[in-house]
Chains A and B, each alone.
Chain A
Amino acid sequence: MTQIRRFILLSIALLCVVLSVRAQTSTPSPSIVLDAPDTIGAGEAWSLYVNLMSGEAGMLIPIVLLNGLSQTTQTVITGTGGIARWDIPAGMTTQSGRSLIIARYGNFEIRRTIRVHAGQAAQTDLLTTTNSMTAYGDSRAMLIGLIRDAYGNPIDVRGRDSEALLDIRFPDGDKRAFSLTPEIGLVWAWVDSLGGPGRVRVQFSLDQATAGIEIQQVPGTARTVTLTLSPPCILNDGRDLLRLTTDIVDGHGNHVVDGTLVGFTLGTGEGYASTADGRAVLTIVPPTMIGLYRMVAWSGDAVSVPVWLQVTDETCS
């Protein structure tokens, strides 16, 4: 009998040791539960329920709400059944992303996340990486849209490809709709030039957000330079001025951009002028030595056909 009693006592002691070790090593069950919606829209009102499993009333529980870069702290007091409610008003949880709620009760901390969705598109910044591009499909520009909701949250337009379009009107009247590539935070597209020089009008609209910009389509580089002299024959009395006029067009017959540099080779000398409306004019004092002078104008790689100036002491025919 004594041995049996010893065995039972030893077994009870062992059981107690095992149970106490297990109680120390196992994770305590959460004593507090946070109940909130999984998802809300930016700026919406919502409620957070704090449930103390012990059911104790009158307990103070500090809570931190991290929404984007804004932090709000609130201390709630549990009521009957150990439940407290925090009503978050509209316009407070405005930043999209996953927000974090942290509650502390004694040494125990519990966290919960809540997904805040951006609202409808309300604002857009339309950017271009170039203000001008060469016409005729010879170059392209990158257009970038930063689309935000009323609270400034970036909109994710993935899955809305048919709605998020760039409407573009080219100088020749052609209209095109360009689809945009969505990245998180922005949309972008390459736009190739089309038609001749002029203004390209770009419009974007999505929900309430609209934006528009203009890009300049400019002519190509000089292809044809036409030089004319006025007068082509001049007396060597030094009383007249010589006027050299160039008309410069690109490969499609359009005047080159204003300010294009034009060089003039005048016998052994040189002169320079820049274009306005495709025309560059240089006025010089003509040579006084009698003879024929070869004159050429050039811009970039394009060179004019040589023209000849006659300087004479007789009458010009």
Chain B
Amino acid sequence: MSKNRIKFILFVAALLIGIPASLIGFLMLNSFIAAFNSGADPASIFRGHRLILPTEDQAQWMSTDVEGTQPNQNTLENLISAYWFAWEALARAYQTGDSADLPTYWAGAALDQVQAADPSSSMSFVHNRHRLYLRFLSDDMTVAVVDDVGFQYHITQQGVEFVISANATLVLTLDNSFWRIREYTIDFMR
């Protein structure tokens, strides 16, 4: 094999590796800058966090009329997004056993409880129909109490599916620009 041919093969190989690598690098840098500009924890992009709103079927505000401080649209969007992703992180932890995302959306006692629940069993977990009622919002909009009424989740364990309805009451706090669930109580319905 001639020297020029080897050079050409090396050149083509470098192109094949270099173009996708630079494209991926550019996209990651773009996401990083976008996340940073929107006030998100830039590290969260490496854990798959995106600031997107759930659809109405997934989660929806039913009432946001609280005594005292009235929430602004930005706060409501951040709250519902964080709440939805908290459940998504939990579902991912149950499905994959990877609980690295949990501290992004859960904090304090709630995080301890979620981690103590050991969400590492191989189990399918689908949740939807979160109907949210804002019960309390502190005057500086950093502490919120939310009721989630009649949400559903489906658990498939060892081939058996269970459809469960429940109500939940949650306390969320704004820590470092992120809303996180700090306390929760779940009431299951029969």
B148-190, CB < 8 A from A? 155, 157-158, 160, 162, 164, 166, 169-171, 173, 182-190
- Neighbour of A71 across the interface among B108, B114, B117, CB < 8 A: B117
A2-61, CB < 8 A from B? none
Q: Verify A183–B135 contact, CB threshold 8 A.
A: yes
Q: Verify B155–A70 contact, CB threshold 8 A.
A: no
CB distance from A152 to the nearest CB of B (A): 3
- Neighbour of B116 across the interface among A64, A94, A127, A184, CB < 8 A: A94
The CA of A71 and the CA of B117, in the complex, are separated in Å by 7
B82 within 8 A of A: no
By DSSP majority rule, is chain A's interface helix, strand, loop, or mixed?
strand
Q: Verify A154–B139 contact, CB threshold 8 A.
A: no
Q: Verify B157–A64 contact, CB threshold 8 A.
A: yes
CB distance from B118 to the nearest CB of A (A): 7
Q: Verify B190–A184 contact, CB threshold 8 A.
A: no
By DSSP majority rule, is chain B's interface helix, strand, loop, or mixed?
strand
Query: Inside 8 A of B117's CB, which chain A residues have their CB?
Result: 68-71
- Neighbour of B186 across the interface among A64, A95, A125, A144, CB < 8 A: A95
Q: Verify B145–A70 contact, CB threshold 8 A.
A: no
Number of B residues, CB within 8 Å of A: 42
CB distance from A141 to the nearest CB of B (A): 9
The CA of A104 and the CA of B123, in the complex, are separated in Å by 18
Query: Inside 8 A of A71's CB, which chain B residues have their CB?
Result: 117, 121, 123, 155, 157
A153 within 8 A of B: yes
B57 within 8 A of A: no
Q: A129-B140, A184-B145 are in contact. Are A153 and B185 (CB under 8 A)?
A: yes
B110-131, CB < 8 A from A? 110, 112-114, 116-119, 121, 123
Q: Verify B162–A64 contact, CB threshold 8 A.
A: yes
Query: Inside 8 A of B109's CB, which chain A residues have their CB?
Result: 123, 148, 152-153
Number of A residues, CB within 8 Å of B: 38
Q: Quick one: closest B residue to A95, CB to CB? A: B113
Q: Verify A154–B183 contact, CB threshold 8 A.
A: yes
The CA of A293 and the CA of B169, in the complex, are separated in Å by 69
Query: Inside 8 A of B84's CB, which chain A residues have their CB?
Result: none
Q: Verify A185–B190 contact, CB threshold 8 A.
A: no
A151 within 8 A of B: yes
B45 within 8 A of A: no
- Besides A152-B109, A153-B183, 12 more A-B contacts (Cβ < 8 Å) are A62-B160, A66-B188, A69-B119, A71-B121, A94-B116, A100-B188, A127-B143, A129-B138, A151-B113, A152-B112, A184-B185, A185-B169
